[in-house]
Amino acid sequence: MRKHSKLISGSGLLFLFMAVCQDALAGTPGGTVSYAPYAAQGIPTLSEGMTMVLALLMSVTVFRVLRNKGGRPLAVLVAGALLILGMASSTEWMGRALAIGFQFNVESGGTVNVLVNNIDISIANQTTKPQQITAITPYPGQVAVAPPSATPIMPRCEVTTVVAPSASCVVRFALD
């Protein structure tokens, strides 16, 4: 009799666990995000070195203008601050630090498998080319929903969204 009561109580706990965790047992969570290189290329920008040169030229110009108006101490202070800020902003340490597990990492395009649901997932473009999202395919029993953490800096991953190199987009899958 004891063996049967342990079996029955163990089975009861298993059914209780399955009832509580039905979301996890409903199928494979998440979906896929397919991408390909974006055909159009962006407008060229200044490199780090040219940004430093521009900061130096601006600080020299500000120094000369302010010095000619009789504000030599102020000119030195403002020119120095512009020089420091201009050069600091052109270095890599000023970028955003993100811990991202999902990424576009094949230059010629591919698919990212997102195996989680009900949380916002950021997908980073780790290639050197802009990548365009070509399809978002939820797994059976799942649906793609609007992630609440999407911002203009990190937009929602949608079909036709173009993700620049080192940029990210956000996707969320949920139960249907």
| pLDDT tens digits for range 107-123 | 899 999 988 888 888 89
pLDDT at 68: 76
Token pair, residue 151, equals: 């911002």
pLDDT at 132: 93
Radius of gyration (C-alpha) of the chain in whole angstroms:
27
| pLDDT tens digits for range 66-95 | 777 776 677 777 777 777 776 666 554 444
pLDDT at 10: 47
pLDDT at 14: 44
Residues in Cβ contact with 137 at an 8 Å cutoff, skipping those fewer than 6 apart: 31, 32, 33, 34
* Cβ burial, residue 154 (10 Å; 0-12/13-18/19+): buried
| pLDDT tens digits for range 125-174 | 999 999 999 999 999 989 998 888 888 888 899 999 999 998 999 998 98
**HSE of 109, CA atoms in CB hemisphere, 13 A:** 13
Q: What's the predicted TM-score (pTM) here?
A: 0.51
